[in-house]
Structure 1
Amino acid sequence: MTATRFSNTARYWRTPLLPGADMLTAEYYDHEFTPHWHDAYTIPVIEEGAECYDYRGSKYVAEAGSVPIINPGELHTGARAMDVGWRYRVFYLPVEFVQSVANEVAGRAQPTPWFPADIIRDADVARRVQRAHQALEGLEVLESAGDPLAAEHALFDAVSTLLVRHAGQRPPVAHMRLDTARVESMKSRLVDDMSAPLSLTELAQTVGLSTFHAARLFTRETGLAPHAWRNQMRLNRALKGLRAGASVTDVAAASGFTDQSHFTRHFKKTFGVPPGRWR
């Protein structure tokens, strides 16, 4: 854990992949939040330091790696719990969005989700929330350099996992039948133009499924999430160009990667060496 004092810096931002939601990337040293509430679900992940807050008549301390959720409309405060302060990422998710994810998970209408006051200490969930926030922020900051398919998948993965594991009334996961035809249709859509941005919502609409069920069906039948499967197809296409002696830059562009560094990162993860060395 860091011994350097945090500053008081905060940035609110939005993404078109999640209309009506606000996101916060911040660190605080001596800032203190007065009692207030949000109309949305407040879903933070503490990255470093620790935050203390009053909520539902009790005092809580959320340390690094924890997810202290606040339900919509409920009063809470916030201040440092360590001398250095704290750094965190926060989703402010509209009630309608979280409700829709719960309905999609169950395959039918569910009661309005709520979360117990206890801090969630689940390292896997914390990683999923952090990964989704980072992926969406990457799209917002870097624009075309991000991958909307991967970012939206990470978002639905984080929220659905939170609901299934930690909601007060957990939505049952609907049974899903084999549907090879729909999976093949999604594969065709994914490879139709691998250089074109594609969101998970758009992919799901191709086969008439909800976003959650399209991702779940595809992952179950292929073993990979849609964005990971698409990147594998891009890499397979890239091998032919590399064998033919094309430059790494040209191969990256022709294979649908946003830039050479994006291509190199995925290539090395799959083949163990950078594309130039492989060639």
Structure 2
Amino acid sequence: MTSTGSSTRFRDCPRYWRTPLIPGAEMLTAEYYDHEFTPHWHDAYAIPVIEAGAETYRYRGSTHIAEAGSVPVINPGELHTGSRAVDAGWRYRVMYTPVDFLQKIADDLAGKPQPLPWFDPGVIRDRDLAYRLRHAHQLMEAGSDLLAAETAMIDALSTLLARYGSTRPETQRIAANDPRVAVMQAQLGADLAEPVQLSDLANAVGLSPFHAARLFAQATGMPPHAWRNQIRLQRALGPLRAGASVADVAAASGFTDQSHFTRHFRRMFGVPPGRWQAA
């Protein structure tokens, strides 16, 4: 933390890292002050624990405030934002846990296959759970005792599922599975470097451009062009993780240039792509 007169505030200081204990997961240890996350989603479950300060975020049509000791879980594919809720900013730890990994823990916990785990919108205020998640995160980051870290991680995620796991409401599944939206999403994601016009999407589903854009935004929470940029960013992670250059990934992802890619990447992940890759 840095001092500003008689007050203290956090810095914009994120660090992404990975652990062999959760294959495919991204882990984040961070503090933020100025940074504001624009509307975005993750393919994984975002499981944060706030250590100090407070974060405010928009999620499923409401504004939430997550203070120290709280756990503001975000479901995969769900649009949300993030910024400071208090003058100091906030410090937190996050497990971006792959869907199949958490699904396996849910199945093991129940002793039989379970529906996709889902968490109600809102901030979980459970000091015991927050302690378990923070402790597991710290042990995995230290990496000195993998047995203890894995035991703590399974305990923390099992506790989260047992206390707060549910299933996705049927109304949400119906809205998200509109076949016309699926057609437009497929067209937007088919070739990310290929230009697509709104009229192309509209013609594909037999709607006017106005009604196609409105349907898409109602189902996804984003206009088509913003949704496509999110897909570009999500698909860029694999090549970056494999060691491809930022410039090559930017071009293959359909961004106009590297600076355009970097700007969008930082707004979503809080760090430039090169720094994320270095983790």
SS of the equivalent of 2:125 reads coil
The separation in 2 between residues aligned to 1:114 and 1:157, in whole angstroms, is 18
Superimposed CA distance per residue, residues 85-114 of structure 1 (whole angstroms, 9 cap, x where no aligned partner): 000000000000000000000111000000
Counterparts of 1:80-91 in structure 2 under 5 Å?
Answer: 80-91=84-95
C-alpha deviation, 1:168, in angstroms: 2.0
**What is the aligned partner in structure 2 of residue 10 from structure 1?**
14
Superimposed CA distance per residue, residues 255-276 of structure 1 (whole angstroms, 9 cap, x where no aligned partner): xxxxxxxxxxxxxxxxxxxxxx
The separation in 2 between residues aligned to 1:75 and 1:27, in whole angstroms, is 21
**What is the aligned partner in structure 2 of residue 78 from structure 1?**
82
Q: One-letter code of the match for 2:98? A: P
Q: 1:29 aligns with which of 28, 33, 46?
A: 33
**What is the aligned partner in structure 1 of residue 159 from structure 2?**
161
SS of the equivalent of 1:70 reads coil
Q: 1:51 aligns with which of 29, 41, 55?
A: 55
Counterparts of 1:142-221 in structure 2 under 5 Å?
Answer: 146-169=144-167
The separation in 1 between residues aligned to 2:115 and 2:139, in whole angstroms, is 29
C-alpha deviation, 1:44, in angstroms: 0.2
The separation in 1 between residues aligned to 2:72 and 2:140, in whole angstroms, is 20
**What is the aligned partner in structure 2 of residue 276 from structure 1?**
none
C-alpha deviation, 1:126, in angstroms: 0.2
**What is the aligned partner in structure 1 of residue 110 from structure 2?**
106
Q: CA RMSD in A?
A: 1.4
**What is the aligned partner in structure 2 of residue 218 from structure 1?**
none
What is the TM-score of this pair, normalised by structure 2?
0.57
Segments of 5+ residues of structure 1 without an aligned counterpart are 140-145, 171-279
The separation in 2 between residues aligned to 1:31 and 1:55, in whole angstroms, is 18
SS of the equivalent of 1:4 reads strand
Superimposed CA distance per residue, residues 207-249 of structure 1 (whole angstroms, 9 cap, x where no aligned partner): xxxxxxxxxxxxxxxxxxxxxxxxxxxxxxxxxxxxxxxxxxx
Structure number with higher strand proportion: 2
Q: State the percentage of identical aligned residues.
A: 66
C-alpha deviation, 1:148, in angstroms: 0.7
Q: 2:65 aligns with which of 61, 66, 70?
A: 61
SS of the equivalent of 2:101 reads helix
Q: Which has the larger radius of gyration?
A: 1
The separation in 2 between residues aligned to 1:107 and 1:168, in whole angstroms, is 16
Q: One-letter code of the match for 2:50? A: I
C-alpha deviation, 1:30, in angstroms: 1.0
**What is the aligned partner in structure 1 of residue 132 from structure 2?**
128
SS of the equivalent of 2:140 reads helix
Moved over 2 A (4+): none
The number of equivalent residue pairs is 163
Q: One-letter code of the match for 1:44? A: P
The separation in 1 between residues aligned to 2:88 and 2:127, in whole angstroms, is 22
Q: One-letter code of the match for 2:17? A: W
The separation in 2 between residues aligned to 1:169 and 1:111, in whole angstroms, is 6
C-alpha deviation, 1:59, in angstroms: 0.3
Q: 1:38 aligns with which of 33, 39, 42?
A: 42
Q: One-letter code of the match for 1:5? A: R
The separation in 2 between residues aligned to 1:76 and 1:95, in whole angstroms, is 18
